[in-house]
Amino acid sequence: MSKLNLKISKPNDAWIFHREEVYTTEDGYCNIFVLLDAHSAFCFGQVASVELPTQVEILAVFNEAYSKALFWPKAVIASKKDPNLETLSAACRELKIALTLLPPQDLKKYVEPFSSGFREAITGAQSRQTPSEEEEELEAFIPDSYSPCTCASGKKFRFCCQPIFRELAFAMCAAEDGKLDEAMRYMKEAEAKVGATPEVLCRYAICWSFFDKEKCAEYSRRALDANPNHPRTNFICGVDARLAKRYDEALGYYNKALENYPAECRYQLNEVYNNIGTVYYDLNDLKSAKAAWEKALVLLPSDRMVRENLIEFIYENPDLPAELREISPFIRKFLERR
C-alpha cells in the first residue's frame, strides 16, 4: 500500500485526496479536503469542515469529481499522515478504487501546484518555487493540527494548544517588546479558553521573564508542579540555569525537554540541541558541542545561527585537532543546502 507503483502520465491515472488548513475568525482552524487530479493538479471538488468529514461527505466529493472527469481513477493517493484515513479507506472500498498512501514529502510534488495557488488566494502571499528560510522555519514552528501537541499532553495539537496558539504568540511578542499589560491581556484570554494548563503557566513564566524574575520563577514552579515533564518549562529552566552558570543543572533540564518533546516538534528540538551545544561550549567540551549542534542543524537546516556556530567554533577553529574539525558527508549535505 505504501509504494507508488502506478504511472501518472495522464489525467485520471490517480486522484489525490489532500487536506489544507485555513484559519477563519468565526470557526478557528478549518479543514479543506480537496480531490485533485494527480497529473494536472486540477481540483475536482472540496469539502470544508471544522471537524473531519464523514464518509457520506467524502463520497459526495468523489461523485462530483466523477461527474466532471467521466472516469474513475486507477488509484486514490493520500498522505500516510492524513487524519481521516479510516473514513477515506471505507469510501475507497465502497467505490472499489485502490488507495495508496505516501509519506507527506512524497506527495508534495503532486499537490504543490494546487497548494501554492490556494495559499496565494487565501493570504494574498506570493508563492515561491523553494520555501525561504522564514517559511521553512514557520512550517517547523507551527505544528500540523493532527500532530502531537508540543506541550507533550499526549493530545493532538488541534484538541490541545491550537485554540490558544494566536493568543500565546501575541503574548510572547508583546512581552518581548516590553508591553506587559498587553502580554497579560493575551495570556488571560488564553487562560479563559483552556484554563491554567502547564503550557499556559509556562507562557506566563516566559512573559514575566522580561519583567520580574521572581514571578517568572513562581510560574515555572507551578508549571512543573502541574507537569514535571512539561518540555518548554524544562527548556526555560535550562536557560536560567545556564545563565547562572549551573551547567549540570542546565543539561538536566535540557535533556528532560528533549525526552518529552514529541519527535514532530523539529523547531523546539532544534532549539534545545542548540542550547545544549552552547552549554558544552561553555564547558569547553567541543566534541559534545559539535554533536549537539549537528543534531540541531539536521532538525532545522535553515537555522543560520547553528550553522555559524558550527563553522566558526568547530569546523574552522584552528585550535581544534583535525579529527574534531572534520565534517561528515552526512552533515555536509545539510550545510550545503544553502
CB-based contact 315:336 (threshold 8 Å):
no
Number of residues forming the site for Zn ion (CB under 5 A): 5
Of 25-33, 64-72, 160-168, 178-186, the window that binds Zn ion (rule: CB under 5 A) is 160-168
- Measured distance CA(50)–CA(203) in Å, rounded: 27
CB-based contact 283:247 (threshold 8 Å):
yes
Of 42-50, 130-138, 158-166, 233-241, the window that binds Zn ion (rule: CB under 5 A) is 158-166
CB-based contact 20:118 (threshold 8 Å):
yes
One-letter amino acid for residue 242 of the chain: R
148 vs 301 by CB, closer to Zn ion = 148
Of 8-16, 155-163, 240-248, 280-288, the window that binds Zn ion (rule: CB under 5 A) is 155-163
CB of 259 to Zn ion, least distance (A): 17
CB of 194 to Zn ion, least distance (A): 8
Q: Does 227 bind Zn ion (CB under 5 A)?
A: no
Q: Does 161 bind Zn ion (CB under 5 A)?
A: yes
Question: What is the DSSP code string of 256-295?
Answer: HHHHHS-TT-HHHHHHHHHHHHHHHHHTT-HHHHHHHHHH
Q: Does 41 bind Zn ion (CB under 5 A)?
A: no
CB-based contact 114:18 (threshold 8 Å):
yes
Question: What is the DSSP code string of 156-190?
Answer: BGGGTTGGGHHHHHHHHHHHHTT-HHHHHHHHHHH
Instruction: Answer left, alpha or beta for residue 130, where phi above 0 means left and psi between -120 and 50 means alpha.
Output: beta
- Measured distance CA(99)–CA(268) in Å, rounded: 34
Of 6-14, 151-159, 260-268, 323-331, the window that binds Zn ion (rule: CB under 5 A) is 151-159
CB of 229 to Zn ion, least distance (A): 13
- Measured distance CA(231)–CA(229) in Å, rounded: 6
Residue in 173, 213, 207 with CA at minimum distance from that of residue 191 = 207
Q: Does 272 bind Zn ion (CB under 5 A)?
A: no
77 vs 200 by CB, closer to Zn ion = 200
Q: Looking at 100, 153, 209, 233, which residue binds Zn ion (CB under 5 A)?
A: 153
Q: Does 160 bind Zn ion (CB under 5 A)?
A: yes
Taking CB under 5 A as the criterion, which residues in 91-150 touch Zn ion? 149
Gyration radius (Cα) of the chain, Å: 23
Of 159-167, 254-262, 299-307, 313-321, the window that binds Zn ion (rule: CB under 5 A) is 159-167
CB of 139 to Zn ion, least distance (A): 19
- CB count within 10 Å of CB 226 equals 16
CB-based contact 280:289 (threshold 8 Å):
yes
Q: Does 278 bind Zn ion (CB under 5 A)?
A: no
Q: Does 151 bind Zn ion (CB under 5 A)?
A: yes
CB of 152 to Zn ion, least distance (A): 8
- Measured distance CA(103)–CA(78) in Å, rounded: 9
160 vs 300 by CB, closer to Zn ion = 160
153 vs 220 by CB, closer to Zn ion = 153
CB of 199 to Zn ion, least distance (A): 5
Bridge partner residues of 47 (DSSP): 33
87 vs 153 by CB, closer to Zn ion = 153
CB of 51 to Zn ion, least distance (A): 19
Q: Does 187 bind Zn ion (CB under 5 A)?
A: no
| Residues found near Zn ion in the complex (CB under 5 A) | 149, 151, 153, 160-161
